[in-house]
């Protein structure tokens, strides 16, 4: 029970950082916690949309990862070259690192050159949001299309947020009357994994803002003209400005290792986050969690690839590992409660909250939009990017108080 243990976390995104905090809090200093990440700087994905419309400067949403990690975490920066599942060993920077427990939090990767496109606009990357910001500043009006290439994809509320933020942005610039905003998706409704009630509520918000929503539009080809798209069974559409959510795929090294089986995502127990391999957990976007309910389809629903579930999954996995290290039987599980703040522009946001594990379908509702939710999201951004210390503690206490006032679980 007192033997020194080594825990290795793959990935320094939301799930990996949260797991490092929870493990360091629960385990004694004699236990080694290593976090492997290829990027030394962390850019906060939830702020990419604000960056797109000029409400954030690039440097405001970036922090060195070493400043975000708690004391006692050993960061290793480099590309993972191989994963030995049997021995729980990973090769990085020509060195081999082994662990008694592994947490895989490598997230999802965006497909390179989707549909043969080498240059396209997107708000799903830090660099893409900066490039799109510059394009929007020059935009004089026309037809704008946000196109979801395939499902699943990260942060399923982001395309709808992006459309509503663009509505407010174009109004502010005085060109909304000269601009059409369209949202195309192969899905049957907005946020299908959240259930029918939320999907219908979000669709009404889009309609209220004059945003044309096109469900069941699956892109199959781009071109021959610039920003011309062919949709399966729907014909062609021409746009003046294309904003693409490219296809997502699992980490290449995860697939090569065999951890994800024949697919892109790592199958896990939806309550424990355990993989089929002993003492190896997968959390966040890298994991595949099948939901018990179904809606409008015979196909099973999957838990959204959202930051809130990277957080709750990290907490559950870390607490299970800490219990096992301490000689106890792990009992912590990840519950299905989740939430999402939907930015609507002009400092207003909606808040969706509910049980994604609900049966026969998820039970998620949208609370009345208002400034409170927008301020909450902005506060969480400041907390997340703050280094450990007094400021982070104070911001965390403010979030705790706000969460209790709103009657929801704390985000921290």
Q: Which two tokens stand for residue 339?
A: 């939430």
Sign of the four-CA dihedral 269, 274, 277, 281:
positive
Residues ≥6 apart with Cβ < 8 Å to 243: 121, 122, 123, 132, 144, 145, 146, 147, 162
Task: Tell whether the torsion through CA atoms of 189, 190, 196 and 197 is positive or negative.
Answer: negative
Q: In a structure prediction context, what are the per-residue pLDDT tens digits for the chain, which is 412 residues long?
A: 458 999 999 999 999 999 999 999 999 999 999 999 999 999 999 999 999 999 999 999 999 999 999 999 999 999 999 999 999 999 999 899 999 999 999 999 999 999 999 889 999 999 999 999 999 999 999 999 999 999 999 999 999 999 999 999 999 999 999 999 999 999 999 998 888 889 999 999 999 999 999 999 999 999 888 789 999 999 999 999 999 999 999 999 999 999 998 889 999 999 999 999 999 999 999 999 988 755 555 456 789 999 999 999 999 999 999 999 999 999 999 988 998 899 999 999 999 999 888 887 788 888 899 999 999 999 999 999 998 887 788 888 888 888 887 777 776 7
Tokens of 72: 């006692």
Sign (positive/negative) of CA torsion 264, 270, 273, 276?
Answer: negative
Identical fold, 6-109+249-334 and 111-248: yes
pLDDT per residue as tens digits for the range 13-23: 999 999 999 99
User: Helices in 209-356 by DSSP H: which ranges?
Assistant: 252-257, 307-325
Pick the CATH number of 6-109+249-334 from 3.30.70.360, 3.50.50.60, 3.90.1640.10, 3.40.50.880: 3.50.50.60
Q: What is the pTM of this model?
A: 0.93
Provide φ and ψ at 102, rounded to 5°.
Answer: -120, 140
pLDDT in tens, 28-63: 999 999 999 999 999 999 999 999 999 999 999 999
Three-state secondary structure readout of 112-130: CCHHHCCCCECCCCHHHHH
Q: Domain residue spans in the chain?
A: 6-109+249-334, 111-248
Note whether 129 and 34 are within 8 A (CB).
Answer: no
Are the C-beta atoms of residues 122 and 244 closer than 8 Å to each other? yes
Q: Are 102 and 281 in contact (CB under 8 A)?
A: yes
Is the domain 111-248 a CATH 3.90.650.10 member? Answer: no
């Amino acid at each position: 029970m007192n033997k020194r243990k080594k825990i290795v976390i793959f990935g320094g995104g939301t799930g990996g950082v949260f797991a490092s905090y929870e493990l360091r809090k629960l385990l004694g200093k004699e236990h080694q916690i290593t976090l492997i990440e290829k990027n030394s700087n962390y850019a906060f994905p939830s702020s990419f949309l604000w960056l797109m419309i000029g409400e954030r400067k690039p440097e405001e949403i970036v922090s060195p990862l070493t400043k975000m990690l708690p004391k006692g975490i050993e960061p290793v920066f480099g590309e993972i070259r191989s994963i030995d599942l049997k021995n729980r060993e990973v090769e990085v920077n020509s060195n081999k690192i082994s662990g008694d427990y592994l947490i895989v939090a490598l997230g999802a990767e965006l497909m390179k050159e989707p549909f043969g496109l080498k240059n396209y606009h997107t708000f799903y990357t830090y660099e893409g949001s900066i490039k799109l910001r510059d394009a929007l500043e020059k935009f004089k009006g026309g037809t704008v299309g946000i196109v979801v290439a395939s499902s699943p994809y990260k942060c399923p509320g982001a395309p709808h947020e992006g459309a509503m933020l663009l509505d407010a942005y174009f109004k502010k610039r005085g060109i909304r009357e000269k601009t059409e905003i369209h949202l195309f998706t192969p899905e049957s409704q907005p946020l299908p994994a959240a259930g029918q009630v939320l999907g219908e509520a979000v669709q009404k918000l889009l309609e209220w803002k004059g945003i044309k929503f096109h469900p069941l539009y699956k892109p199959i080809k781009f071109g021959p003209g610039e920003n011309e798209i062919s949709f399966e069974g729907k014909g062609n559409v021409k746009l003046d400005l294309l904003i693409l959510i490219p296809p997502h795929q699992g980490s290449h090294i995860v697939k090569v290792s065999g951890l994800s089986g024949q697919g892109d995502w790592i199958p896990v127990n939806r309550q424990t986050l355990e993989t089929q391999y002993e003492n190896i957990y997968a959390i966040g976007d890298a994991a595949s969690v099948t939901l018990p309910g179904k809606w409008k389809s015979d196909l099973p629903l999957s838990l959204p690839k959202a930051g809130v579930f990277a957080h709750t999954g990290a907490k559950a996995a870390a607490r299970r590992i800490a219990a096992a290290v301490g000689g106890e039987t792990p009992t912590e599980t990840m519950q299905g409660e989740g939430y999402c703040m939907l930015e609507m522009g002009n400092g207003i946001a909606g808040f969706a909250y509910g049980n994604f594990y609900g049966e026969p379908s998820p039970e998620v509702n949208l609370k009345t939009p208002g400034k409170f939710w927008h301020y909450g999201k902005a506060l969480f951004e400041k907390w997340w990017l703050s280094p450990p210390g007094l400021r982070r503690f104070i911001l965390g206490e403010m979030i705790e108080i706000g969460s209790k006032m709103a009657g929801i679980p704390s985000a921290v």
